[in-house]
A and B are shown apart, each in its own frame.
Chain A
Amino acid sequence: MTDISDRKQSVVFQPSRTQRVIEALKRDWQLYLMLAPTIIWLLLFLYKPMYGLQIAFKDYSVFRGIAGSPWVGFEHFQTLFDNDQFLRALKNTIVISFWSLLVGFPVPILLALMFNEILNQTFKKTAQTIVYLPHFISSVIIAGIVIASFSPSSGVVNTFLGWFGADPVYFLTKPEWFRPIFIGTNIWQEAGFSSIVYLAAIAGVSPTLYESAVIDGASRWQMMWKITIPSIMTTIIIMLIIRIGNMLEVSFEMIILLYQPATYETADVVNTFIYRQGLQGGQYDLAAAAGLFNAVVAFVLVMSANAISKRYSRTSLW
């Protein structure tokens, strides 16, 4: 709405608009200056490289350069969709993301609510630090911990199962176990850190609401359901939309560290497929095509999630 009225004005009062822009720049120059590095970064590292996306439609040679390589149209996309392993990777990506979202998304919210209910400050701080910590450990080390924990001969998990008389299971070579292990690992690593944003949102809820609830005789449980959760709903939905946009971005370095040919069946995702096929094999053009496809799907997902959210909850990213 404002957009249209702005344009009208700009047509009619051209000079005054320019003047106003200069005026605004002068007035808030410190703010614009602080904004500048981000804008420059965005242009330089996210917009300029888009020029290179065209190699997805070219027979790319590094030496000939982007401009010098011949066009091949949709050949690379066709190669991808003719490949059963790409389709399998696509399916795995969607399944893993879906389960990560379903199981993993609520966990940080629950954590944040739980932290919020802890009264003892020392215990609260200690518990928070402990759950944040895995986020700062490198994936390589986490993968090492996972491999050791699930080892059939000396791992914690199999030792524990052994107490109940179960035979040791070589979990990391069983396709049916890969997804639970991977998703569980991710939750363990990231849930604590992701809860920070919800904790911040909870901290922003006005204390007067709780005070009046207490006077009305509300229980803590009721306060959580009727005050805390509705108050942070906007944050939850925005985080959900962002998550949906990143749905195809399964953290593939962790997969590369954990998977085996024996578990490719359930573990191979689009990014690991790109890595093996495209980068190890030097087929940058094919890798670019797969990446572009990924981006387009992600874009559609984010747009739909945003539209749905806008219609039903009146919350949206834009």
Chain B
Amino acid sequence: MKHLTLTAALLMGTTLTVPAFAEGHLPIAEETLELTVHMHHKRYTSYDESWPVEQAARKMTNIHLKDVTVGSNTDNSEEAMNLLLATGKMPDIVGTSRIKDVVFQYGPEGAFLPLNDLIDEHAPNIKAFFDERPEVKAALQASDGNLYYIPYLPDGKYGRAYFIRYDWLETLGLELPETVEEVKAVLEAFRDNDPNGNGKKDEIPYFARQWEELIRLVTLWDGRSSGSDTYHDFFVDDGQIKHPYAQEGYREGMKNLAQWYAEGLVDAEVFTRGSSAREYLLSEDLGGMTHDWFASTAGYNTALADKVEGFSFKAFAPPASISGKRIAEHRRIPIKPDGWAIGYSNDHPVETIKYFDFWFTEEGRNLVNFGVEGEQWTMVDGKPTFTEEFLTNGRPVNSQLYEIGAQLHARGYYQDYAYEEQWSNAFALEGIALYDEGDYLIDQFLGVAMNADEQKIYDKYWSSILTYMKERQQAWILGTGDIETDWDDYVATLDKMGYSQVIKAMQSAYARQYGN
């Protein structure tokens, strides 16, 4: 299948000036070629040449990456990046988390090589990937229309889901809530009917580790809370860029959530409880429902099995909104802002892009996803499968992979969800299957590349507008303001603060990038 699409893509491709890079056209260089690399991520603050994955890649490609990372003593990648830029010298390859902002700003200024022609001529696998997903390629374009980096592309669709105490529902004789009204009824029952059976009214019906996950519930009133996996992000509605916090659905949702909060259906301390909320409220048998990541939340079913009797905290399908729509607003974003790029002074751009392409071939993709064949995995029925020993040695699989240089997110590659599936919690897989059945995912806003003028408008107004939006948001929930009486004034203030100018700037960038 993969070969078919690849061949098809190659056949469709423009008049090929260079012989196609057939798989197995390795090594890339006849003689060993050394390329310098800056690679920084908070999990590994430099490129370790002794990583087994690097050693295997050296054997296959004959290209040796040499570590010249600047700022290895900090775990802040942006700081390291700024240090690198300030030196004025660019290594051959620059890989870092959040490279997107860097290449979007400094690519057009000449710090990185544009990759468009290089990909077309020398990277058939990357090209095939983009041809299949034009929206991904569009999202990667800088404001001058060029591509400057190859991103880390996560696989697997699902991120956060609705979780509820199935055992509490059973204790109280309730069904899984299917609509927003039923959710409210269930939360009220959690509050009043003592599902944890300790005789005290101490249950917290809805809680969240991030208070933004409370705002997420506006989707139940057809509002939006964010357009991407970043909180407070813009979204695209029928080709128009909009911000969720200026829409009617949001108004309706916030009105109801404020009421929920006042009635005690929502954790009273949702704004300050912070990241330990889930751990604490679940292990104390207090929390009833949340919206959080599949894998880690499902993990509590095993972790707390002994501590809380009958504990069953599982995913349920997104309840229908007031208009009957079921959406899972949050999902894994298909493109991360992490990845790698080619520095402007690289003398071997062709070899470098071929090297980037190597990670999109089958061998390269297996290497970066699963580790070294014969060490961490073997081929079983044509699928890379982790060895029993690797899976059961008691250490988290992902950290073991990071240690050998696999799954490095500062490297541009396409993740393979199969790697994660093999060690996912059964409860998580069950939930994912449930979400798969319903097709609840919606399109993500993949960001726009603004040119200097648009960026100026955005920088000037946006931060203040968002601050104001968040202030009002919390005031409404906490009851220090009333959304119904404030709304018109709120919208007028947004406009006065430059909201429409920001939207206009983003819209023009969006039209240029995605061709609307």
Interface of A with B (CB < 8 Å)?
61-65, 79, 83-85, 147, 151-153, 170, 172-174, 260-262, 264-265, 268, 276-277, 281-283, 286
**Judging by beta carbons under 8 Å apart, are A151 and B269 in contact?**
yes
**Judging by beta carbons under 8 Å apart, are B269 and A261 in contact?**
no
Query: Given the interface contacts A62-B85, A63-B109, does A260 sit within 8 Å of B464 by beta carbon?
Result: no
Give the interface size class of chain B. Answer: 20 to 34
Residues of B within 8 A of A172 (CB): 271-272
Closest beta carbon of chain A to B390's beta carbon, Å:
36
Residues of A within 8 A of B271 (CB): 172-173, 260, 262
Query: Given the interface contacts A63-B85, A153-B268, A172-B272, does A262 sit within 8 Å of B478 by beta carbon?
Result: yes
Closest beta carbon of chain B to A144's beta carbon, Å:
9
Q: Nearest CB to that of B481 among chain A residues? A: A262
Closest beta carbon of chain B to A308's beta carbon, Å:
37
Residues of B within 8 A of A261 (CB): 467, 470-471, 473-474
**Judging by beta carbons under 8 Å apart, are B467 and A152 in contact?**
no
Residues of A within 8 A of B88 (CB): 65
Residues of A within 8 A of B436 (CB): none
Q: How far is the CA of A262 from the CA of B475 in the complex (A)?
A: 6
Partner among B78, B85, B105, B272 whose Cβ is within 8 Å of the Cβ of A173: B272
Pull 8 A–B residue pairs with CB atoms less than 8 Å apart, ordered by A.
A61-B105, A65-B86, A85-B464, A170-B269, A174-B480, A262-B480, A265-B471, A286-B459
Q: How far is the CA of A317 from the CA of B268 in the complex (A)?
A: 51
Give 14 A-B pairs besides A62-B86, A65-B88, A170-B268 with Cβ atoms closer than 8 angstroms.
A63-B105, A64-B109, A85-B467, A85-B468, A147-B272, A152-B268, A152-B269, A153-B268, A170-B478, A260-B474, A264-B470, A268-B467, A282-B101, A282-B105
Closest beta carbon of chain B to A271's beta carbon, Å:
15
Closest beta carbon of chain A to B13's beta carbon, Å:
33
Q: Nearest CB to that of A151 among chain B residues? A: B269
Is B399 an interface position by the 8 A CB rule? no
Partner among A63, A83, A283, A286 whose Cβ is within 8 Å of the Cβ of B106: A63
Residues of B within 8 A of A265 (CB): 471
Q: Nearest CB to that of B474 among chain A residues? A: A262
**Judging by beta carbons under 8 Å apart, are A61 and B480 in contact?**
no
Query: Given the interface contacts A262-B475, A283-B459, does A61 sit within 8 Å of B106 by beta carbon?
Result: yes
Residues of A within 8 A of B105 (CB): 61, 63, 282
**Judging by beta carbons under 8 Å apart, are B269 and A153 in contact?**
yes
Closest beta carbon of chain A to B249's beta carbon, Å:
21
Residues of A within 8 A of B274 (CB): 147
Q: How far is the CA of A260 from the CA of B214 in the complex (A)?
A: 15
**Judging by beta carbons under 8 Å apart, are B272 and A151 in contact?**
yes
Q: Nearest CB to that of B82 among chain A residues? A: A62
Residues of A within 8 A of B268 (CB): 152-153, 170
**Judging by beta carbons under 8 Å apart, are B474 and A173 in contact?**
yes
**Judging by beta carbons under 8 Å apart, are A276 and B463 in contact?**
yes
Is B111 an interface position by the 8 A CB rule? yes
**Judging by beta carbons under 8 Å apart, are A62 and B471 in contact?**
no
Q: How far is the CA of A173 from the CA of B272 in the complex (A)?
A: 9
Q: Nearest CB to that of A147 among chain B residues? A: B272
Residues of B within 8 A of A61 (CB): 105-106, 109
Closest beta carbon of chain A to B160's beta carbon, Å:
21
Interface residues of B in 454-511 (CB under 8 A from A): 459-460, 463-464, 467-468, 470-471, 473-475, 478, 480
Closest beta carbon of chain B to A53's beta carbon, Å:
16
Q: How far is the CA of A152 from the CA of B271 in the complex (A)?
A: 12
Q: Nearest CB to that of A264 among chain B residues? A: B471
Q: How far is the CA of A261 from the CA of B78 in the complex (A)?
A: 25
Closest beta carbon of chain B to A273's beta carbon, Å:
9
Q: How far is the CA of A172 from the CA of B274 in the complex (A)?
A: 13
Interface residues of B in 249-275 (CB under 8 A from A): 268-269, 271-272, 274
Closest beta carbon of chain B to A239's beta carbon, Å:
35
Q: How far is the CA of A264 from the CA of B469 in the complex (A)?
A: 12
Residues of B within 8 A of A85 (CB): 464, 467-468
